[in-house]
Structure 1
C-alpha cells in the first residue's frame, strides 16, 4: 500500500487545523515507510502527536458547545486507545500488527477528516472561532446547548458501547 499523503482533499480551510492534519499525515507516512527496527518508535511519535491533535480539537469543541461527549470526541478516544495497543504490540515485536494498524488508520483518518472534522471546521467558521486565541467572534451563533448528535443519531457513551 502507498504511504499516506497529504492532499487538497483533506484541506478544511482552517490553517491551524490543516497544519495539524498535514503533520499527522506526514508522521503516519513515516510509520508506513519505517523498517521494522524503527517502526515502533515512529508509531510512538505518531501517538504523541495524535494525543495533542485530538486534545486540541476536543478543546475547540468544548469552547464552542460542539459537545465534549459527542461521537467526534468518542472516536478520538477509541482511536488513541487502539493506537496504544498497537504500541504494545510493536514493543513485543509484532511489527506486522503496527503496519496493519497504520494502513487502517490512513483509511480512518481520510474519512474522519472529510466528515467529522469538516463538520467541526464549518461550525468553527460559523461561530467565528479564533483557533489561536480561543475567542468566539460571533457569540450569537453559538448553539444554545451542546451539539450532541452525529448527524441523525444520538451518540452512546463509551461505557454503554462496551456493555453491548
Structure 2
C-alpha cells in the first residue's frame, strides 16, 4: 500500500505546483509498488523528479524574496542528500533501505506540502508571481528583507508582514 495518495489536502491552489506534487505522489507510489528488479531505476527516477521539483521551488523562492539559505530550501537539500544515500545503498544491494525511505517519504511530503509549500503558494499568490514567465505582478507585495524562515511567520520580514496585514 502506498504511504501517500493524492488527495484534496495536498492541493495548494497553485496549479503548476499542484501538478508537480501530484507527479511526485505518483512516482513515489510506483517506487513503493516496484518489484526488486525495478526498484533502483524507479528510485533514481524519483530522485531526478525531486531534484527538478525542488530546483523549481527554490527558483520561485529566490524570485519572490526568500534568502538563499532559508529553511525551506535547506530542507530540500537535506531530503535530496538522504534520497541519494538511499540510491547508493540500493546499488549495493540494500533494497530494504530504499523501501524504508520510500515509506517515510510519503508522510514527510504530506507535512512539507501542507506547511512549507502551502506557505510558499500563498506568498506567490500575494506577490502575483507567474510561474510560467517568472514575473512578479505585485512587486509592492515583495518583502522588504529576504525571508529567512520556512515560509510562515519565522523571519522578521514575515512577522512584520503578518502584523501589518
Q: TM-score scaled to structure 2, two decimals?
A: 0.90
Contact map agreement 1:24 1:50 (CA 8 A) in 2 = yes
For the residues of structure 2 that align with 1:118 and 1:103, how far apart are their CA atoms?
A: 22
Contact map agreement 1:3 1:33 (CA 8 A) in 2 = no
* 1:63 is aligned to 2:66: no
- SS of match in other structure, 1:80: helix
For the residues of structure 1 that align with 2:154 and 2:138, how far apart are their CA atoms?
A: 27
How far is the alpha carbon of 1:68 from its aligned partner? 2.4
For the residues of structure 1 that align with 2:138 and 2:95, how far apart are their CA atoms?
A: 48
Q: What do residues 80-117 of structure 1 show as CA deviations (whole Å, max 9, x unaligned)?
A: 00000000111111111100000111111000000000
**Corresponding residue for residue 118 of structure 1:** 118
For the residues of structure 2 that align with 1:3 and 1:146, how far apart are their CA atoms?
A: 35
Q: Residues 23-34 of structure 1: matches in 2 within 5 Å?
A: 23-34=23-34
**Corresponding residue for residue 46 of structure 1:** 46
For the residues of structure 2 that align with 1:142 and 1:82, how far apart are their CA atoms?
A: 33
* 1:22 is aligned to 2:37: no
For the residues of structure 1 that align with 2:16 and 2:140, how far apart are their CA atoms?
A: 24
- Give the aligned length: 154
Structure 2 regions of 5+ residues with no counterpart? 156-165
Q: Residues 84-163 of structure 1: matches in 2 within 5 Å?
A: 84-150=84-150, 151=152, 153=154
Structure 1 regions of 5+ residues with no counterpart? 155-164
How far is the alpha carbon of 1:4 from its aligned partner? 2.5
Q: What do residues 115-151 of structure 1 show as CA deviations (whole Å, max 9, x unaligned)?
A: 0000000000000000110000000000011011234
For the residues of structure 2 that align with 1:87 and 1:52, how far apart are their CA atoms?
A: 17
How far is the alpha carbon of 1:2 from its aligned partner? 3.2
CA-based RMSD: 1.2
How far is the alpha carbon of 1:69 from its aligned partner? 1.1
Q: TM-score scaled to structure 1, two decimals?
A: 0.90
